[in-house]
Amino acid sequence: MAPHELTLGDFLRRRRASLTPRHTAPDAIARRVPGLRREEMARLVGVSVDYYVKLEQGTRRITPSGNVLHALGDVLGLDDLEREHMYDLARLDNRPRAARESAVQTVRPGTFRLMESFLGLPAILFGRRTDVLAVNPMARLLVDDFPALPARDRNGVRWAVLGERVREIQPDWPGTAQCLIGMLRMDLGRYLHDPKTIALIDELYRRSEVFREIWSRGTVARSMTGPIFLKHPEAGPMHLNVEAVRVTDDPDQTLHVMIPCPDAMSQAAMAELRRRTGPPARGPV
């Protein structure tokens, strides 16, 4: 199966294999194959074995009900984001396999003005496929000057797995790569036949061992949030917390804002970064 081919059946098989069957199977310790058996999954979900097998195999166009999907989420121990991804796959598995052209991504002037208002905080706007749609001056200096990059390189996942800048400024760059790849997988689940997304995944799968390894884990993410540590070559090291907000008018766009931690080192580095920041940008990248 090609790396861009996501199905409900593959998702269920991965998650079933990750479960510990000790609470359902007395012979769990003696097993050589990890996870629950299909028969055990069917019993816990409350469906026939034949029905569950068809869900995993995808041999027939079965549309699982909301109750069945809810039960699958409970048995598999899915969090809210993983449930959303499963619902996307269940819906798309039953749509015609017709390719759909990628919609042009635009940034509302109000969104960009909001980004410019964060004068002392780096802000990045991600769109479909983790495309970088806009950055404010602080983010251009701290993270990368995305407007100066070729258009095809203004993509978060491509930047994280193929670029050099992320390795220069972030010791834990694999963590950033994992989060961005999770965002890409979540996006693919929503737009399974988007040609630009498919082309990006297939290219990175060929070119990057890091991408192949992380993609095989099957993890999903909606955004990058939480603590990060960056080492800017001029401003110095800093601890930051990343907060993310979805754009109301376009749920495919997420604004990420980096807030320095209150320690003296981080505050001093951010102050130096502000001093070095040039004039504001006047439009999206």
Q: Which pLDDT score is estimated for 62? A: 76
Q: What are the residue boundaries of the structural domains of the chain, listed by start?
A: 8-92, 109-276
Q: Does domain 109-276 have CATH number 1.10.3720.10?
A: no
Tell me the C-alpha distance between 81 and 87, whole Å: 10
Tens-digit pLDDT profile for residues 48-68: 888 888 888 875 567 788 888
pLDDT digits (tens, 9 = 90+) for 9-49: 888 888 888 887 654 555 544 455 567 888 888 899 888 88
134 — pLDDT class (breaks 50, 70, 90): very high
Tell me which architecture the domain covering 8-92 has in CATH: Orthogonal Bundle (1.10)
| pLDDT value at residue 177 | 96
- Token readout for 170 is 């972030």
Rounded-to-integer distance, Cα 4 and Cα 198, Å: 6
Three-state DSSP state, 173: helix
pLDDT tens digits for range 73-125: 989 888 888 888 888 888 765 554 444 445 678 898 888 888 888 878 999 99
Give the number of C-alpha atoms closer than 13 A to the C-alpha of residue 35, restricted to the C-beta side: 15
C-alpha to C-alpha distances, 207 to 161, 193, 215, nearest whole angstrom: 9, 21, 13
Question: Could you give the 3-state DSSP secondary structure of residue 77?
Answer: coil
Q: How far is CA 61 from the centre of its chain?
A: 28
Contact 232, 269 (CB under 8 A): yes
